[in-house]
Amino acid sequence: MSGLIGKKIGMTSIFDENGKNIPCTVIEAGPCIVTQVRTEEVDGYNALQLGFDDKTEKSATKAELGHAKKAGTSVKKKVVEFQGFEGDYKLGDAITVEHFIEGEFVDISGTSKGKGFQGVVKRHGFGGVGQATHGQHNRLRAPGSIGAASYPARVFKGIKMAGRMGGEKVKVENLRVYKVVPEKNLLVVKGCVPGHKNSYVIIEK
């Protein structure tokens, strides 16, 4: 699907026409520059490669510098391919937040916040075992049994256990676009999106 690369600014809330307080996320969406055009004849499929957020030449590789020079733009920090764009786009064209319309629904993906090593209650939503009375010492948030002893005499793969949590790609679907602010390249969507402040997100129609 067509879309844009954005940067999560943070969260706020707005009131709808009925006076209900709606939690929203503010995203800086674009402008994204077309850094490569994929075609059916050359690549076997049609797509646009978009770049977002300028990178200093000092921290860019020679390959990145050459790629950006072809498009007549500066080197970009984030480069992503999108399919489904309608219209004739050329190298160096800018696609702005006006690609989205207020009231439509979008899918947003990003990398979730890293939580570090977490137990099963936080990581998998376990309820905790037993009660705090009758001599029970410190097993309130323990996972309980993870398998039988003599048979199968091992722990099956995929058992939900404690471990590292977060830092994974997450997609949130069907978020409503509440506001488009073209002069500041801002997109306001209902609800929360994955990632910390200033992290990159992919917004798809």
* Domains of the chain with CATH codes: 3-120+171-204 (2.40.30.10), 121-165 (no CATH)
Edge-to-edge order in the sheet of strand 32-38: 76-82, 47-54, 32-38, 94-95
Rounded to two decimals, the pTM is 0.84
pLDDT over threshold 90, residue 6: yes
Q: Distance between terminal CA atoms of the chain?
A: 6
Q: Distance between CA 193 and CA 187 in Å, rounded?
A: 12
Residue (of 77, 81, 49) closest to 61 by Cα position: 77
Q: Distance between CA 121 and CA 144 in Å, rounded?
A: 11
Q: Distance between CA 7 and CA 196 in Å, rounded?
A: 10
Q: Distance between CA 19 and CA 166 in Å, rounded?
A: 35
Per-residue pLDDT tens digits for 66-100: 989 988 899 999 999 999 888 888 888 899 999 99
Per-residue pLDDT tens digits for 144-179: 889 998 999 999 999 999 999 999 999 999 999 999
pLDDT computed for residue 44 by the predictor: 92
